[in-house]
Structure 1
């Protein structure tokens, strides 16, 4: 095994080997010594772990903490050895199944980013495996192999490289620590054994860059679909968080986040992100931009932003801006804003415009939407 790609990442599941086997493995393949150290943390091989002379890797510490809690005495000793030494490092990365021996990342402490041994016993069945119709099933060596896209849930961690697939489903019966106090208290150096999705989303929605950077996972990993609304909320309400998000390359392909950043910039009277293609739906909550800013947005994006500017004009009660936007009178959302506005000008203007353009002014439908209070931001 000459390279990391040839080496197995997980060498401790479904069962651990003997201490002597791991000792011989580490001697023959020193690039595997951190995986051997992780196996020692699970099996309680304290003597071998001491021989390896490893950096204080947080994944090994987290693994040792769990196994030590299961009354494996050697594991508890390994845990105490690791946390007594600082700084702490992330040598093993369970998200990417990589081992960084040359330049490991220095970290604060245990961060609950480890696929601990007990999690590997949680299995899922293969239900409905399908193949995209993008070519022949039987490919020669020069063609890409077929990719199966359904039939199982993508796992946050896949260190066993099998997506935890089995012929049956296994219930997750693991016990976690209560994380309620962490929502209102400073984060400890070593996180307790918690499910941290709620903590990540709370940090993102509050625009807390420090906490979010500490807690976050690689963007898009398990929980990403729920994390995006939290990020969007944080961006809308916190200009400096929006600025930080604008500098993160992993967010560039997420349209929801990019639109939220643009909206927050506009509400902060910064139109630097506005182009002729900009199409953002909400630019007046939680704060209003100046009327001059809205006019500049309209000038830069007269086609894609006219209806949005019209809604902003109704909310902020700038009828000259509303007239300049010249909105589509059949737009149901503009109709809702007009009905909700205490100024009757916008409602009458839309009705007149609809009649002149022979368009349907969706009066009754807009009234129903208004009663349900589903769209306005008042």
Structure 2
């Protein structure tokens, strides 16, 4: 049974473990409820805002213990962003819902930046512009430009390409040749990596972001 889409899988899947999806989730912003069985936006449902309810001890315990085959009914709104933040592919792929919850996207981006294999896994998923930017940033930091071609839109190009590590000088040099529009981002990376010669060769136009990078 698929509680998210209110349907049955056919053919039936064997060993379909319980995944703790019966928690009454509420949100700080107005959005369609996760489990709107009555299709009235849970108008009559009782609950407490996430910021006002106590943290579920069972969910806290599962933050540092392996997930059970049959996950108990817990507040997954805590487990999902933490799995994304740490870049844990197995936990996140199992816990996540069809649509992201409040605060999940920043955690996903953080996990991509810090975990190369999490970025590789997301490369196989249907993604948004913000996630693609994070993925391509992680690939640049890994000195991998194989993804960049003439069909790569400028909207997918990352802004931050020097954290949590810096790429090698040849990578930034080749990136500036392949996509001159990324010169400002490369210049900021050169400032943070202390690549003085490459920075001088870029002849980047000064802007407020370069000044801030120099101050750091």
TM-score normalised by the chain length of structure 1: 0.50
8 Å CA contact retained: 1:177, 1:194: no
Higher relative contact order by CA 8 Å / sep ≥ 6: 1 or 2? 2
Provide the residue aligned with 2:71 in structure 1: 191
Structure 2 match to 1:297? 175
Match of 1:339?
215
State the shift of 1:238 in Å: 0.7
Q: How does 1:1-378 map to 2 (within 5 A)?
A: 92-100=1-9, 102-107=10-15, 109-114=17-22, 119=24, 153-165=31-43, 170-172=46-48, 178-218=58-98, 220-221=99-100, 223=101, 225-249=102-126, 251=127, 254-275=128-149, 277=154, 279-303=157-181, 305-329=182-206, 331-340=207-216
Q: Distance in 1 between matches of 2:143 and 2:149?
A: 15
d(CA) in 2 for partners of 1:235, 1:155 = 27
Instruction: Report the 3-state secondary structure (helix = DSSP H, G, I; strand = E; otherwise coil) of the residue aligned with 2:180.
Output: coil
Deviation at 1:231, TM superposition (A): 0.9
* CA offset digits 1:170-191 (Å, max 9, x no partner): 4449995532111111111222
Compared CA separation, residues 297 and 267, structure 1 to 2 (3 A) = same
The one-character-per-residue Cα deviations of 1:244-276 (angstroms, maximum 9, x if unpaired) are 110012x2xx11111000000000000122346
Alignment correspondent of 1:351: none
1:171 to 1:295, Cα distance in 2 relative to 1, 3 A: same
Cα deviations by residue, 1:109-145 (Å, 9 ceiling, x for unpaired): 2211236xxx59x9xxxxxxxxxxxxxxxxxxxxxxx
Number of aligned residue pairs: 206
Work out whether residues 236 and 263 of structure 1, in 8 Å CA contact, stay in contact via their aligned partners in 2.
yes
CA offsets 1:53-74 (integer angstroms, 9 cap, x no match): xxxxxxxxxxxxxxxxxxxxxx
Runs (5+) with no aligned partner, structure 1: 1-91, 123-149, 341-378
C-alpha contact (below 8 Å) 1:177/1:192 kept by paired residues: no
Larger radius of gyration: 1
RMSD: 2.6
